[in-house]
Amino acid sequence: MKNTVISVILFLILVTSLIYINYKFTNLCSNLIDQSNEIEKLLDKEDFDTAYLKSLELLDYISSNDFIPSIYLNHIDYDDLINECLKLCVYIKREDLAEASASLDLIEFSCEHLIKIQKINLKNIL
């Protein structure tokens, strides 16, 4: 009986932790998408200085919130996001609008894809 209770408690802790981590990760990706959209609007106005500062904030946000993704994700996926943010900063600094827009689209697509594959549903479990 004691082993059963311990097993059930550990299982509940595990499920609760996974739900919390999934929630935090989804919020992280949603914030990245929102920040990318802000930068895209600034680039449409050709405000490169403000867009560069926002891209540095985006890079800092990704770097400072890397604890949960490092536990929850494949490192390659998260490293690709960081690398694409670095490229974005360089493209904006050099005022290359086409490459900066491509990087922003890739960041948004990657975040949407990561949210989709981390969603808890029967398709992802099987």
- Are 89 and 7 in contact, with CB atoms under 8 Å apart? no
Distance CA 52, CA 32 (A): 15
Q: Where are the alpha helices (DSSP H) in the chain?
A: 2-44, 48-64, 67-72, 75-93, 97-118, 122-125
The pTM is what? 0.86
pLDDT digits (tens, 9 = 90+) for 25-46: 999 999 999 999 999 999 999 9
Distance CA 97, CA 93 (A): 10
Task: Tell me which amino acid residue 100 is.
Answer: A
Task: Tell me which amino acid residue 41 is.
Answer: K
pLDDT digits (tens, 9 = 90+) for 72-109: 788 888 889 999 999 999 999 999 999 999 999 999 99
